[in-house]
Chain A
Amino acid sequence: MENFDVIVVGGGPAGLSAALSAAQAGMKTVVIERGDYPGTKNVMGGILYTKATDLIVPEFWKEAPLERPIIEQRIAMLSGDESILAGYRDPAWAKEPYNAHSVFRVKFDRWLAQQAEKAGVMIIPETIVENLLYKGDNVVGVRTGRAEGDLGAKVVIIAEGVNNFLAVKAGLAKPLKPESVAVTVKEVIALPKEKIEDRFCLDEGQGATIELYGDSTAGMMGVGFIYTNKESISIGVGAILQPLIRNNWTPNDLLENLKSKPYVKRLLQGGETKEYLSHLIPEGGYTQVPKLHRQGVLVVGDTAMLMNSLNREGSNLAMISGKIAGEVAAQAIKTGDVSDQAMTVYETRLRDSFVLKDLHHYRHMGKFFEENTHLLKVYPKLFSQAVKMYLTADGTPKKQRQKEIIKMAFEKRSKGGLIKDIYGAWRALL
Chain B
Amino acid sequence: MHFVVCLKQVPDTSEVRIDPITNTLMREGVPSIINPYDAHGLEEAIRLKEKVGGKVTIVSMGPPQAKEALKKAMTFGADRAILLSDRAFGGSDSLATAYILSSAIQKIQETDPIDLVFAGKEAIDGDTAQTGPGIAQRLGFPQLTYAIKIQELTETTVTVERKTESGRQIVQAQLPALITVEKELNDLRYASLPNMMKAAAYEPEVWDVKSLSFDTKKMGLKGSPTSVSRIFAPPGRSGGEIMDGTKDPAATAATVVQKLFQQNIIMVNPLAKGGKS
Contacts and interface: CB of A to CB of B under 8 A. Distances in A.
A84 interface: no
Contacts of A149: 192-193
Which residue, of A146, A148, A150, has the highest number of chain B Cβ atoms within 10 A?
A: A146
Contacts of B194: 2, 148
A2 B192 contact: no
Which residue, of B31, B197, B201, has the highest number of chain A Cβ atoms within 10 A?
A: B197
Nearest to A107: B29
B200 A127 contact: no
B191 interface: yes
A147 B190 contact: yes
B201 A127 contact: no
Contacts of B191: 146
A147 B193 contact: yes
A146 B190 contact: yes
A151 interface: yes
Interface string A120-156: 0011101100000000000000001011111100000
B193 A148 contact: yes
Nearest to A40: B31
A169 B255 CA distance: 62
A151 B192 CA distance: 12
A91 B200 CA distance: 43
Interface in B17-46: 31
Nearest to B199: A124
B95 interface: no
Contacts of B192: 146-149
Contacts of B201: 122
B196 interface: yes
A148 B194 CA distance: 7
A122 B190 contact: no
A144 B193 contact: yes
A175 to B, nearest CB: 28
A124 B31 CA distance: 19
Interface string B252-273: 0000000000000000000000
A123 B190 contact: no
Secondary structure type dominating chain B contacts: helix
Interface residues of B, number: 10
Contacts, number: 31
Given A146-B190, A146-B191, A2 B196 contact: no
Interface string A27-42: 0001000001000000
B190 A124 contact: no
Contacts of A148: 192-194
B50 to A, nearest CB: 13
- Contact-residue bracket for chain A: 10 to 19
A139 B202 CA distance: 29
Contacts of A150: 193
Interface in A80-133: 122-124, 126-127
Interface in B94-149: none
Interface string A309-347: 000000000000000000000000000000000000000
A134 B192 CA distance: 21
A161 B31 CA distance: 24
Interface string B234-249: 0000000000000000
Contacts of A147: 190, 192-193
A109 to B, nearest CB: 15
A35 to B, nearest CB: 12
Nearest to B190: A146
A258 B194 CA distance: 48
A151 B200 contact: no
A251 B162 CA distance: 50
A1 to B, nearest CB: 9
Contact of A2 (B31, B190, B197): B197
B30 to A, nearest CB: 13
A127 B191 CA distance: 10
B200 A146 contact: no
Interface string B178-200: 00000000000011111011001
Which residue, of B193, B197, B200, has the highest number of chain A Cβ atoms within 10 A?
A: B193
Nearest to B189: A147
Interface string B37-61: 0000000000000000000000000
A394 B190 CA distance: 74
Nearest to B191: A146
A174 to B, nearest CB: 30
B200 A122 contact: yes
A126 B200 CA distance: 12
A229 to B, nearest CB: 13
A126 B193 CA distance: 10
Contacts of A151: 193
Contacts of B193: 124, 127, 144, 146-151
A122 B202 CA distance: 11
Contacts of A146: 190-193, 196
A22 B190 CA distance: 29
Which residue, of B190, B196, B201, has the highest number of chain A Cβ atoms within 10 A?
A: B196
Contact of B197 (A36, A122, A126): A122
A150 B191 CA distance: 14
A380 B31 CA distance: 44
Contacts of A124: 193, 196-197, 200
Interface of A: 2, 30, 36, 122-124, 126-127, 144, 146-151
Given A30-B197, A147-B190, A147-B193, 15 more contacts: A2-B197, A36-B31, A122-B200, A122-B201, A124-B193, A124-B197, A127-B193, A127-B196, A146-B190, A146-B192, A146-B196, A147-B192, A148-B194, A149-B192, A150-B193
20 contacts: A2-B194, A2-B197, A30-B197, A36-B31, A123-B200, A124-B193, A124-B196, A127-B196, A144-B193, A146-B190, A146-B191, A146-B192, A146-B193, A146-B196, A147-B192, A147-B193, A148-B192, A149-B192, A149-B193, A150-B193
* Closest CB pairs A-B (n = 7): A147-B192, A146-B193, A149-B193, A148-B192, A124-B196, A122-B200, A148-B193
